[in-house]
Structure 1
Amino acid sequence: MIAEGHRVTAFAPEDDHDVRRTLAREGCNFEVIEMARTGTNPLADVALLIRMLKAFRRLRPDVVICYTMKPVIYGGIAARWLGIPERHALMTGLGHVFADPEPQGKVRILRRLSIWLYRQALKGVDRIFVYNAADEADLRDFRMVPPETPLIRVAGTGVNLDRFKQSRLPEGTPSFLLIARLLADKGVREYVDAARQLKADWPQARFRIVGPLDPNPTGIQAEEVADWKRSGVVEYCGATDDVRPFLDEASVFVLPSYYREGIPRSILEAMSKGRPVVTTNLPGCADTIEHGVSGYLVPPRDTQALADGMKHFLECPQSISTMGAHARVRAEQIFDIHAVNAHLLSEMGLSRRPSTRASCITKVA
């Protein structure tokens, strides 16, 4: 966007100094917008909406691009109320309240509220970008968007093939890696149970977990993680700002998620590194790999099926390099971040504007 001559301001809820410096080098302004990413406190969300309104009123952007659930909702509402000329939404996944086809109790109430909020935020939006067919269908079926609003499929957020270069596979007994926020919906417990089962026959195999604890209602508590570490079945490596060294040390990437993903970036990064993937056959995850070619797709919440998928690589370790090579080729052909960005800019009309115009484009993430 900056190369096309636009002025860009990025909003985010945390002040990461490395990100701030990187954006500054690119000529992008950065502002912190306080936001409880996983909270459901209505007063906190009203406060977020007020902060969005004040920031947009001050910046007076021509274009607002909102990314992920809360920014899409509250940034979208604020931009509509202020009459900002162009609004776009990137739907990275509808979240856990849409994962269950027949929700009950609190989840059912939250889904109804989410549908209503999406309708307010997406009314009159110029374009909505979706990552998979299931999200596209839900947006239409639940009438969260007007019939005339275009829904455009994109290949997720893409992956930087140069940053995540294909690397040599580790030697010895295959090792497995899961990278995710520690949520039950990410299939972390199923991964631990599968690791426990496989460890009995392959004691030299390594099963690692990388990712932060999460305050989400389905977050796994630190005490449970400590128990896993004491058992010796899995290695918990904590959170990191750079997953590449962990991917380099892994033979196979595993993400048994039933979170209702958009397209998981962690899978794309593993594919770009030349690692085969075991993941679920749910929307989003299933859009990444080819079953039996670059990895295996298994049913969600099925520990035995997950263990069987992982066991293929322990019984036939030579398939790791073959499937990993296919994964890298698929990343190059479909998920190259430069192709994804070019598609987004073209669809939003940002790459066709004269470079002399200094538009203020606000990205809220």
Structure 2
Amino acid sequence: MKTFLLIASFPDSLIKFRGPLLRALVAKGLDVHVAAPDLADVPDIRFELEALCITLHEIGLTRTGTNPVVDLGTVAELWGLMRRIRADYVLGYTIKPVIYGSLAAWLAGVPNRFALVTGLGYAFTGEASGKRGLLRKLIQRLYRFGLSQSRKVFFQNPDDEALFRQQGLLPVSIPSCMVNGSGVDVADYSLAPLPAEPSFLLIARLLGDKGVREYAQAAKMVKAQHPNAVFRLVGWIDGNPDAISQQELDEWVNSGTLKFLGKLADVRPAIANSNVYVLPSYREGTPRTVLESMAMGRPVITTDAPGCRETVVHGDNGFLVPVQAVNELAEAMIRFIEDPELVNRMGERSRQIAEQKYDVHKVNEFMLGEMGIQ
């Protein structure tokens, strides 16, 4: 039996983003292992994975830390794990699992080493100056070194793939291919009736680069003309340097601009209670929340930015607006309020695109084939 190791930096993503892939690997007859930090804090996820006969390994990976000694310890820990389980395949996703997982797999002699670039994150957005600029240079060097040891690299949008090639982060000798995001289970995220009131929704970590401030500013502008419009926000504040402050969030809520729902384990009720999904992000891999909303028949307003622009055909299943363009964002929202038929028509197209392009089973079958798993 071949052994497959999946490396993650955020345990909550294991079921939500990679659950169908893990099930597909088990169904193919592989001995599946998962390595991630903080697994002890998510007993429900542990139980669900162990019920699939997946072996879990707690690792000391810090998602946002920059201590080189700690990160070297992570590489050593992963190397030891791969040697112990005799891994035949390794796949890491997000920055540190990609970089350190690739290095450890190479050192451990794992024959099939793969990486999935799900987005570029904080270091690649905004101005390349100060701490962000230094972090960007460090991450670029680490990517260049780590990915040179991979057999193949998966990207979720063509802009990221082109950037890695142009900047020499991915050697010309290493093949790469495009995959349609993480996919969405169109059976689990089924069509839901549209509510009567004009209502908008954003689901995201509360970061500046996700466009949360632009969403709040546009909501304030729209409510001045259409006070009955509702703007909901789902998410949480984490330790990212670009995080929204609690004071900002409180001001939006107390002023009546936004309704904050916090962090939800299941976002489907929030999507069902909205007419239009909005993601004014500066850059994404392929945003999973957009795919979920499309599958549930919601039109989308997002930015003409890497990762986001792939999900929307402008004027077909939603609208694309420039990054950080509050006025254009507000105008797109008002179009849906003043022409409710747009919501119905574009929502139907979103569902069709989700079924045709982003069905998780199609996405995973493609990835398995590209990894040589039949």
TM-score, reference length from structure 1: 0.92
Q: Which moved more, 1:102-111 or 1:198-207?
A: 102-111
- The CA distance in 1 between the partners of 2:176 and 2:75, in whole Å, is 25
- Aligned ranges for residues 237-316 of structure 1 at < 5 Å? 237-258=261-282, 260-316=283-339
The corresponding residue for 1:181 is 205
The corresponding residue for 1:214 is 238
TM-score, reference length from structure 2: 0.90
Q: Which residue identity does 1:108 align to in structure 2?
A: G
Shift of 1:68: 1.1
Does the 8 A contact of 2:102 with 2:149 survive in 1?
Answer: no
Q: What do residues 301-339 of structure 1 show as CA deviations (whole Å, max 9, x unaligned)?
A: 111111111111111112101100000000001000000
The corresponding residue for 1:130 is 155
Q: Which residue identity does 1:156 align to in structure 2?
A: G
Q: Which moved more, 1:107-116 or 1:49-58?
A: 49-58
User: Does 2:44 align with 1:51?
Assistant: no
| SS, match of residue 315 in structure 2 | coil
| SS, match of residue 76 in structure 1 | helix
- Aligned ranges for residues 94-243 of structure 1 at < 5 Å? 94-100=120-126, 103-171=128-196, 173-243=197-267
Q: How many residues align?
A: 348
Within the candidate set 358, 364, 374, 1:335 is matched to 358
The corresponding residue for 2:52 is 26
- The CA distance in 1 between the partners of 2:185 and 2:38, in whole Å, is 23
Does the 8 A contact of 1:130 with 1:154 survive in 2?
Answer: yes
Q: What do residues 59-101 of structure 1 show as CA deviations (whole Å, max 9, x unaligned)?
A: 221110111111001111111122211100011012232234x
CA RMSD in angstroms comes to 1.3
Q: Which runs of 5+ in 2 are unaligned?
A: 1-24
| SS, match of residue 90 in structure 2 | strand
| SS, match of residue 200 in structure 1 | helix
| SS, match of residue 149 in structure 1 | coil
Shift of 1:13: 2.0
Q: What do residues 115-174 of structure 1 show as CA deviations (whole Å, max 9, x unaligned)?
A: 111122111311100111111111111111221211101101100101100111111x21
| SS, match of residue 366 in structure 2 | helix
- The CA distance in 1 between the partners of 2:76 and 2:87, in whole Å, is 16
Within the candidate set 17, 37, 40, 2:63 is matched to 37
Does the 8 A contact of 1:68 with 1:91 survive in 2?
Answer: yes
Does the 8 A contact of 1:49 with 1:75 survive in 2?
Answer: yes
Sequence identity (%): 45
